[in-house]
């Protein structure tokens, strides 16, 4: 079988790329190892940056998010000394977030691609990639019937996330991997409850960080910092609401709307960046290119930014014979990836102070306090924050 671009993975990266290529009349085949039901129900991100909304709107892929997404332009910090709000929609470049659950976006993107007659194969895993150094790279897939098929094309887009096969197809030594374990873990929760405050709230507390992020009128995402290796099952609904109430200081700022906990899982805060994010005819997009901790909600937004650049570069080559944008793909993406990594790393240090009375822990907590104070009082710092918080 043959196509022009083989796309491995139907997450935000692969689906945006597939839709943009299809719109440009470039043949592509998407292979996704999970079922359609699974990818359309996988709740993860929710905060779409202004650039993401621009890309999706420009491509006619934003009907759902423009109709059902909610504008968010304020975040609040709750600390021992009280609460302060940053109305970031009026700071920096004046950009806001659109809150639209990732699974809803994935559902819209799947429907749009299939409506165009796109070739999207669910329950079809890429099991091998070869010929990356040639002009006919091929992906071997295993479909729902268990049969192996070989799909050859001119390019392969690795959009298969951090644990996908695309990364491992790059020969050792051809790509450098920068990585950091931030040493912090979050219990990521979805609660069947409306949001409890207007804004996104970040609770900085001696027991650890707690976060509140609106999703839909009936579902709210919460985060609780927890020890590495904690068993999510040990967090009963009661224990979760007690910890959230304490760390978000419900006694001072008002009670939280409680509801059943629909999902609880531990996410270890880690980040990595591959350099370059291309090898031969393979191009990495999204989490496959760079994993970013969810501390600043950047992952899905980076994926869309990279998918747009790669689609434009492939179109320039295949339609206009211009090879330069594709040759520059990695160099164009990496500075933006590092900017997002830098901001996410800064957010981690803003939100988490080390525990304990050791000299270093006490010093680092004082720095954290100074960072929060600067953000609360300096208009220039707030502008810088806003620009990076919503920008990509």
160 touches ligand FAD by CB under 6 A: yes
Residue 389 designated active-site: yes
46 touches ligand FAD by CB under 6 A: yes
Q: Whose Cβ is closer to ligand FAD: residue 114's or residue 361's?
A: 114
34 touches ligand FAD by CB under 6 A: yes
55 touches ligand FAD by CB under 6 A: no
Residue 67 designated active-site: no
User: At a CB cut-off of 8 Å and minimum separation 6, what does 33 contact?
Assistant: 123, 124, 125, 126, 160
Residue 176 Cβ, how far from ligand FAD at the closest point, in Å? Answer: 20
Q: Which of 300, 299, 298, 329 is nearest to 312 (CA)?
A: 329
3-class secondary structure, 377: helix
8 A C-beta contact, residue 38 and residue 110:
no
Phi/psi of residue 102, nearest 5 degrees: -55, -40
Residue 333 Cβ, how far from ligand FAD at the closest point, in Å? Answer: 13
CA pair distance 34, 160, nearest whole angstrom: 11
103 touches ligand FAD by CB under 6 A: no
Q: What is the CA radius of gyration of the chain?
A: 21
Residue 158 Cβ, how far from ligand FAD at the closest point, in Å? Answer: 9
When binding is defined by CB under 6 A, the residue of 53, 200, 300, 337 that contacts ligand FAD is 300
Q: Name residues contacting ligand FAD, limited to 79-98 (CB under 6 A).
A: none
Residue 298 designated active-site: yes
DSSP state of 257: P
Catalytic residue among 97, 298, 345, 352: 298
Residue span binding ligand FAD (CB under 6 A) among the ranges 237-245, 282-290, 358-366, 370-378? 282-290
Phi/psi of residue 98, nearest 5 degrees: -110, 125
Q: Whose Cβ is closer to ligand FAD: residue 249's or residue 330's?
A: 330
Q: Which of 325, 273, 267, 302 is nearest to 392 (CA)?
A: 302
282 touches ligand FAD by CB under 6 A: no
CA pair distance 269, 365, nearest whole angstrom: 19
69 touches ligand FAD by CB under 6 A: no
8 A C-beta contact, residue 271 and residue 179:
yes
Q: Which of 156, 100, 147 is nearest to 125 (CA)?
A: 147
13 touches ligand FAD by CB under 6 A: yes
Question: Which residues sit at the interface with ligand FAD, rule CB under 6 A?
Answer: 8-14, 31-34, 39, 44-47, 102, 125-126, 159-161, 164-165, 188, 267, 286-288, 294, 297-301, 303
Query: Active-site positions?
Result: 72, 202, 294, 298, 389
């Amino acid at each position: 079988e043959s196509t022009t671009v083989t796309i491995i993975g139907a997450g935000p990266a692969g689906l945006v790329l597939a839709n943009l290529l299809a719109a440009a009349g470039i043949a592509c085949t998407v292979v996704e190892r999970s079922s359609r039901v699974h990818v359309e129900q996988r709740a993860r991100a929710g905060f779409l940056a202004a650039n993401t909304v621009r890309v999706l709107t420009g491509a006619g892929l934003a009907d759902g998010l423009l109709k059902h997404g909610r504008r968010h332009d304020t975040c609040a910090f709750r600390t021992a000394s009280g609460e302060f709000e940053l109305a970031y929609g009026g700071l920096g470049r004046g950009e806001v977030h659109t809150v639209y659950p990732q699974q809803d976006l994935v559902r819209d993107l799947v429907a749009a691609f299939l409506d165009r007659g796109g070739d999207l194969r669910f329950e079809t895993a890429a099991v091998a990639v070869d010929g990356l150094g040639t002009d006919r790279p091929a992906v071997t897939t295993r479909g729902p019937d268990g049969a192996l098929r070989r799909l050859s094309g001119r390019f392969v887009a690795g959009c298969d996330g951090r644990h996908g096969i695309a990364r491992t197809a790059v020969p050792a030594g051809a790509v450098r991997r920068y990585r950091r374990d931030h040493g912090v873990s979050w219990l990521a929760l979805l609660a069947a409850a409306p949001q409890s405050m207007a804004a996104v709230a970040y609770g900085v507390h001696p027991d650890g960080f707690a976060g509140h992020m609106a999703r839909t009128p009936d579902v709210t995402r919460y985060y609780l910092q927890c020890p590495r290796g904690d068993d999510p099952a040990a967090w009963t609904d009661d224990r979760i609401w007690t910890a959230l109430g304490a760390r978000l200081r419900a006694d001072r700022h008002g009670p939280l709307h409680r509801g059943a906990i629909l999902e609880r899982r531990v996410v270890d805060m880690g980040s990595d960046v591959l350099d370059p994010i291309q090898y031969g005819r393979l191009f990495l997009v999204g989490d496959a290119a760079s994993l970013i901790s969810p501390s600043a909600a950047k992952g899905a937004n980076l994926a869309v930014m990279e998918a747009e650049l790669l689609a434009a570069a492939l179109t320039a080559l295949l339609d206009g014979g211009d090879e330069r944008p594709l040759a520059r793909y990695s160099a164009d993406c990496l500075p933006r990836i590092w900017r997002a990594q830098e901001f996410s790393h800064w957010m981690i240090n803003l939100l988490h102070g080390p525990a304990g009375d050791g000299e270093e822990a006490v010093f680092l907590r004082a720095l954290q306090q100074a960072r929060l104070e600067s953000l609360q009082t300096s208009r220039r710092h707030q502008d810088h924050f806003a620009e990076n918080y919503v920008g990509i």
